[in-house]
Amino acid sequence: MPAKKQPAPSREARPSLEFEGKTAWVIGAAGALGSAIAAALVEAGAQVVLSSRRRAALRTVADGLPKRGGAAQVLPVDIASDQSVARAARGIRRRYGRIDVLVNCTAAPVFGDFLKLGDLDWETVLQAKLLGYVRTMRAVLPYMIEQGAGSIVNITGRGGRQPTPAHLPGCCANIAVNALTKGLADRYAANNIRINAVAPGPIESERHHEIARNNTALKSPASAKLPPIGRLGAPVDIAEAVLFLASNRSSFITGITLQVDGGGTAAI
């Protein structure tokens, strides 16, 4: 008898404001995952800066954030531009005095057959993911070093450990970000800066279904079934993991890539 599909979680009001007085910068806040992460941080009391290239989408996200807890500021940024990123980081530091948390949560929707993807497809993904994360971390780390503390959480993906044929550029970028996360975590642990990654598995979204359609077209079974836990993930699942890694509750954790995939990664 097939297993019964499990319901997605619901969030209750967060009882504590553990991020009160802290400033968090969420890159990619206009997307489903980024907006859920921003909402969780606001609920926990943080002053959250929402960034992506899409000002109108950011404003929509900001208008829908919880009215309790912290507050939010919209700050469009082009992470393909080192100048844009550095200027934004300076502005946040000047306005709030510190940057306590950085969350990198970007993606590039490049899917398809390896033989049909050109250099520009690969470069687009690397700019949106690996090099974008390099730029944002390079911009905030000096401030975190100066203030003597900080937490960075990089959103990667299950493909960083279990590649899928239809999403190889993203998978390769995720592998690189996982390595970058560990290397920088070791480098800056002595500065009381923790750097971790969260690797989402299949999350209920158009992106997940597009990857699945492309894998089916390539006759790959990847993403075709539910993970062992019995449901697709929800953005709140990722937000809760980010909140944990960004908070003092994980003060002895750095350099890890946390799989949040319902048990779907076929590896130990």
Q: What is the 3-state secondary structure (H, E, C) of 5-72?
A: CCCCCCCCCCCCCCCCCCEEEEECCCCHHHHHHHHHHHHCCCEEEEECCCHHHHHHHHHCCCCCCCEE
Give me the percent of the chain exceeding a pLDDT of 70: 87
Rounded distance between C-alpha atoms, residue 199 and residue 257, angstroms: 6
If one compares 223 and 108, the residue with the highest pLDDT of the two is 108
Interior CA angle at 256 toward 247 and 212, to 5°?
Answer: 105
Rounded distance between C-alpha atoms, residue 107 and residue 117, angstroms: 17
If one compares 102 and 107, the residue with the highest pLDDT of the two is 102
Q: Sign of dihedral through CA atoms 36, 38, 41, 43?
A: negative
Q: What is the pLDDT of residue 203?
A: 86
Q: What is the pLDDT of residue 93?
A: 98
Range in 14-23, 92-101, 175-184 with the lowest mean pLDDT: 14-23
Q: One-letter amino acid identity for 176?
A: A
Looking at residue 183, the DSSP 8-state letter turns out to be H
Q: What is the pLDDT of residue 7?
A: 58
- Kindly list the structural domains of the chain, giving each domain's residue range(s) and its CATH number in brackets, ordered by start: 23-202+234-259 (3.40.50.720)
| pLDDT at residue 229 is higher than 80 | yes
- Predicted TM-score of the model (pTM): 0.90
